[in-house]
Amino acid sequence: MEYKFSDRVLTLKPSAIREIFKYAADPSYVSLSAGNPAPEAFPSKQLAAISAKLMEEEPILALQYSTTEGYPPLLQHLKEYMKSSRNIGTEDDGVLVTSGAQQIMDLFTKSILNEGETVICEAPSFIGSLNDFRSYKAKLVGIPMDTDGMNMEALEKALETEKNVKFIYTIPNFQNPSGITMSLEKRHRLYELAKAHDVMILEDNPYGDLYYEGEPLPSIKSFDTDGIVIYAGSFSKVISPGMRVGYAIGPKPVLAKMTVCKQGQDVHTNIWSQVLCYRFMTEYDFDAHLAGLRKIYTKKRALLLDLMEKHLAPYITWDPFNGGLFAWCHLPKGVDMMEFVQKALEKKVCVVPGTAFLTDENEPCDAFRINFSTPTDEQLTKGITLLGETIREMVEK
């Protein structure tokens, strides 16, 4: 049979990261391509205790259908916690629990975007979100990144010249893949530009709690008095990605439409996972847990920086990153990035080609992404050493 796919998915390509995972799954390869939390970061004992108590005392709560909006105690706690600790949310905002933050991208786009309308995003940006926008036939417009976030002059020009701009997508904290953090000045400027042009903002913040220097900057949502920002939060990097629990905070009318769309996708987010997240946040010291994560990743980041200075410099450079899970690395002029990635694979080390994160994958790119959270110290050492061998063989041949 000849299969005829819908126009919406006909041009979609598999995620480059998922394709590389085919190699990364082989234990003989060193994977620097994933974005998974470190194995030692999971609160497995606490979650096991919560789960055992839940199944013993209230099994039907975990096994029965639930409401689409989310587990009510978790909704209430998120509303109170995010307001008190992050100043996020107003009386006009609601909370929707989702199957990971990725579902927020899908539900929001499905709810407000018509085919051919424009989404403005950072260049580079997260491949999962870009592919989701593509699936709804969006026109993607990438805005170059400065060392302190989106170039505001380019953003203003795009807002003035592009037709039918529906929303701006941004990852302001330790951006994936670049690791860049948007300055406070640019956060305010982004908000004012969006407001002036009657455009919404989708603020994706999966890494905000994983800062390793200084204090976190206020979110864009924290100064949203006009109901134009949807905030996407997630437990994936701070509790467990496998549990698939994210949450959107935004204007109630928008969340209501997203809720209807969610009913057609999965009815509701895994209720067992929601209860575990709620009880972990309320029965344990959640802020101390976050501090523990930062300690783990601060150490791994220090090791990575030391290894890159030793093995990659001076040929490979990298952008500064003060949090998150990734390093964005640049190859010297004249070195083909895809050839470098392929030669690294031949040495059995996996990185992600930078083109995977572009709005147009055919644009020139000299960068690749390294993840330092997933590999062990030994794997990280081996992987960076092999990357150093690869670049020296290409440059010094």
Amino acid letter for position 312: L
The enclosing domain of 239 has a CATH number of: 3.40.640.10
Same-domain pairing of 120 and 187? yes
Residues 134-164 pLDDT 10s = 999 999 999 999 999 999 999 999 999 999 9
pLDDT at 216 over 70: yes
Amino acid letter for position 273: S
Same-domain pairing of 49 and 36? no
User: To 10 degrees, the CA torsion angle through 265, 279, 222, 234?
Assistant: -40
Interval 213-237 mean pLDDT: 96
pLDDT at 354 over 70: yes
Same-domain pairing of 279 and 313? no
Same-domain pairing of 117 and 169? yes
pLDDT at 76 over 70: yes
When divided into structural domains, the chain yields a total of 2
Interval 168-191 mean pLDDT: 97
Same-domain pairing of 65 and 102? yes
Look at residue 329 in the predicted model and tell me its pLDDT: 97
Same-domain pairing of 37 and 110? no
Residues 294-341 pLDDT 10s = 999 999 999 999 999 999 999 999 999 999 999 999 999 999 999 999
Interval 120-126 mean pLDDT: 97
Whether residue 181 contacts residue 323, with contact meaning beta carbons closer than 8 Å, is answered with yes
Same-domain pairing of 30 and 163? no
Interval 65-81 mean pLDDT: 97
Interval 221-246 mean pLDDT: 97
162 domain residue, yes or no: yes
At 203, is the secondary structure helix, strand, or coil? strand
252 domain residue, yes or no: yes
Whether residue 230 contacts residue 200, with contact meaning beta carbons closer than 8 Å, is answered with yes
pLDDT at 21 over 80: no
In which domain, by residue range, is 213 found?
44-283
370 domain residue, yes or no: yes
Higher pLDDT, 14 or 89: 89
Look at residue 319 in the predicted model and tell me its pLDDT: 93
User: For the purposes of burial, counting CB atoms within 10 Å of the CB of 227, is it exposed (0-12), middle (13-18) or buried (19 or more)?
Assistant: middle
Higher pLDDT, 35 or 79: 79
Long-range contact pairs involving 331-334 (C-beta distance under 8 Å, separation at least 24)? 331/366, 331/367, 331/368, 331/391, 332/391, 332/395, 333/366
Same-domain pairing of 27 and 49? no
